[in-house]
Structure 1
Amino acid sequence: MDFESSNFIAATRTALNQLTALAVHYSLSVIGAIILLIVGWMLARLLSRWLYEAVSRFDGVDLTLAQFFANVLRYGIMTLVFVTVLGQFGVQTTSIVAALGAAGLAIGLALQGTLQNIAAGIMLLVLRPLRVGEYIVTPAVNGTVMEVGLFATELKTAEGLYLLAPNSILWNVPITNHSRRPQRLQELTIAVANDTDLDLVKRLLLGVVERDERVEKSPAPRVFSDDLAADKTTLKVAYWAKTAVWTEARRDLIDRMRNTLIGQGIVLK
């Protein structure tokens, strides 16, 4: 009985010592994991904020793009910290990294179209072929840009309609930006009878254009013959105007030139 009691006491002490060692080991691991998570979270937040501010300082870089890069860095650091914490508890992180890679590949294949829009959005935000407030024309969509996002671009059509265009259809096609350049050329076509005094018509048209303050003085406006048919002569009125008033100037000048010619008894064809 005394022998069995001694063995029981010895086994109990051994078990208690092992439990104490395990408790100390895992308590240190838990404390270390907590410290690592706190430090990693603070580091991720600090570096992401630093990257956001650094990218935002570059001229022409959209804040949406800066925030995207900052979030990618932040979540990337937190993922590394999480895998390191699991390694503290003896978990084989190699298999976890492989699983994360496989999951990322599967998600990438499933979201191929979405990722294509994100990639196109990044290129649009970096190269800036279009900006908010500019009017663009593409083979697929036309309208004034309201917002450029990572997934899609919001536009307002000439009819005032709301249009949401995926970034992929804006990046892979030619874009004509009607608002980017400060000046635009306008060419108006006017046809008159062949027996009309062309010198008089040219002087009248040139006078109307030159008196308009919205028309640029350099390059100077021009009026020239563009085509000759059996029953009419086609004239071209070419002038440059500021892009902001280009449409308004065109409409006004058409009316003024028409009224001026009719007032002089010139018949338009």
Structure 2
Amino acid sequence: MEPQQPDVILATRTALSQASALAVQYSFSIVGALVLLCAGWLIARLLHNWAYAGLKRVHGIDETLARFFSNIIRYALLVLVFVTVLGQFGVQTASIIAALGAAGLAIGLALQGTLQNIAAGIMLLVLRPFRVGESIETSSVTGTIREIGIFATELVDSDGVYRLAPNSTLWNTPVRNFSRLPTRKHDLAISVGADQDIDDAMQRLLDIARGNDNVLKNPAPAVFISELAGDGATVTLRYWVSTPNWWATTRSMLKRVKDEFAVKPEAELQTNEDRGDDPSPLDP
């Protein structure tokens, strides 16, 4: 038995030496990994703040979009740092990158609708077909914009009801923006019988429009015969109003014309450019 003792001692010493070498090796790897993680986290934070501040200064870039892109930069760098740290311990990072790519592809296929909303949200925030506070109408939703997010847009309709519309439904459809331009047109039509003086009716309509301070002088209000019906005619008053005053002015003009002619106008709006039911819930 005694001749075996040197072998045991030698094996023990060899094991201790290997353990010591592994401890030294991995201790350096652990320290390097910790340093790399701290440095990566700090750099990712600095790049996030730099990208956010830079995007905020770009004209047309919304704050939501600036935060979205800056967060993408930050998390992409953190993932790169994590993969590099694993490489410090001898892990084959190529297989990890391939696995991450496959996982990303699977997640993308599973979240196609969500990714469409993200892409549409980015386009809405960049091109700005509507902004917060503007009243819009699409084939699926009508209301005043409260917030434009990455995934969906919040609106309030004319009844004061909250509505949430996916961005893809707003991007893939024509949008009518009632608030974007500074002025809006209004057509007001009345019927004039054969026993009435049509020239007098046209002049009285013009006088009503010119007497309203909210009716713009340029372009000037105009009166014309828009339709012949039987023994009478339809006379239309066309005038322009600043967008903030459109609702109140058109309502007061309707009442004024009704009182003047003691008749109910045939149609409040007969053009493709205007509607009588302005969707803004801010209007009375």
TM-score by length of 2: 0.90
- 1:4 aligns to what? 4
SS at match of 2:212: coil
Q: Is the 8 A contact 2:186 2:240 kept in 1?
A: yes
Q: Is the 8 A contact 2:258 2:264 kept in 1?
A: no
Q: Unaligned 5+ residue runs, structure 2?
A: 267-284
- 2:91 aligns to what? 91
Offset at residue 200 of structure 1 (A)? 1.2
Q: Is the 8 A contact 1:33 1:88 kept in 2?
A: yes
- 1:188 aligns to what? 188
Instruction: Supply the distance in 2 between the matched residues of 1:151 and 1:230 (Cα, whole angstroms).
Output: 55
After superposition, the Cα gap between the structure-2 partners of 1:245 and 1:267, relative to the gap in structure 1 and judged at 3 Å, is closer
After superposition, the Cα gap between the structure-2 partners of 1:28 and 1:268, relative to the gap in structure 1 and judged at 3 Å, is closer
Instruction: Supply the distance in 2 between the matched residues of 1:17 and 1:194 (Cα, whole angstroms).
Output: 117
Instruction: Supply the distance in 2 between the matched residues of 1:74 and 1:59 (Cα, whole angstroms).
Output: 22
Q: Tell me whether 1:103 sits opposite 2:108 in the alignment.
A: no
Counterpart of 2:219 in structure 1: which amino acid? Answer: P
Offset at residue 20 of structure 1 (A)? 1.1
- 2:114 aligns to what? 114
Q: Is the 8 A contact 2:134 2:180 kept in 1?
A: yes
SS at match of 2:180: coil
- 1:226 aligns to what? 226
Q: Could you report, residue by residue, the CA deviation over 1:218-263 in whole angstroms, capped at 9, with x for unpaired residues?
A: 011101111112232111101110011111101100111221223x
SS at match of 1:240: strand
Q: Could you report, residue by residue, the CA deviation over 1:115-146 in whole angstroms, capped at 9, with x for unpaired residues?
A: 11111111111111011111101011111111
Offset at residue 9 of structure 1 (A)? 2.6
The 4+ residue runs of structure 1 with deviation greater than 6 A are: 266-269
1:136-155 matched pairs, under 5 angstroms: 136-155=136-155
Q: Is the 8 A contact 1:192 1:267 kept in 2?
A: no
Offset at residue 15 of structure 1 (A)? 1.8
- 1:32 aligns to what? 32
Q: Percent identity among equivalent residues?
A: 54
Instruction: Supply the distance in 1 between the matched residues of 2:265 and 2:58 (Cα, whole angstroms).
Output: 55
Q: Is the 8 A contact 2:254 2:265 kept in 1?
A: no
Instruction: Supply the distance in 1 between the matched residues of 2:210 and 2:190 (Cα, whole angstroms).
Output: 17
Offset at residue 267 of structure 1 (A)? 9.8
1:25-104 matched pairs, under 5 angstroms: 25-104=25-104
Q: Is the 8 A contact 1:136 1:142 kept in 2?
A: yes
Aligned residues: 266
- Higher RCO (C-alpha under 8 Å, 6+ residues apart): 2
- With 28-37 and 206-215 compared, the bigger mean Cα shift is at 206-215
- 1:205 aligns to what? 205
Q: Is the 8 A contact 2:189 2:265 kept in 1?
A: no
CA RMSD of aligned residues (A): 1.6
Q: Could you report, residue by residue, the CA deviation over 1:65-115 in whole angstroms, capped at 9, with x for unpaired residues?
A: 111111111110000000000000000111111111111111111111111
1:133-172 matched pairs, under 5 angstroms: 133-172=133-172
- 2:175 aligns to what? 175
Counterpart of 1:223 in structure 2: which amino acid? Answer: V
Q: Could you report, residue by residue, the CA deviation over 1:165-211 in whole angstroms, capped at 9, with x for unpaired residues?
A: 11110000000101000001111111110232122111111111111
- With 104-113 and 6-15 compared, the bigger mean Cα shift is at 6-15
After superposition, the Cα gap between the structure-2 partners of 1:179 and 1:21, relative to the gap in structure 1 and judged at 3 Å, is same
Q: Unaligned 5+ residue runs, structure 1?
A: none
Instruction: Supply the distance in 1 between the matched residues of 2:260 and 2:245 (Cα, whole angstroms).
Output: 22
SS at match of 2:240: strand
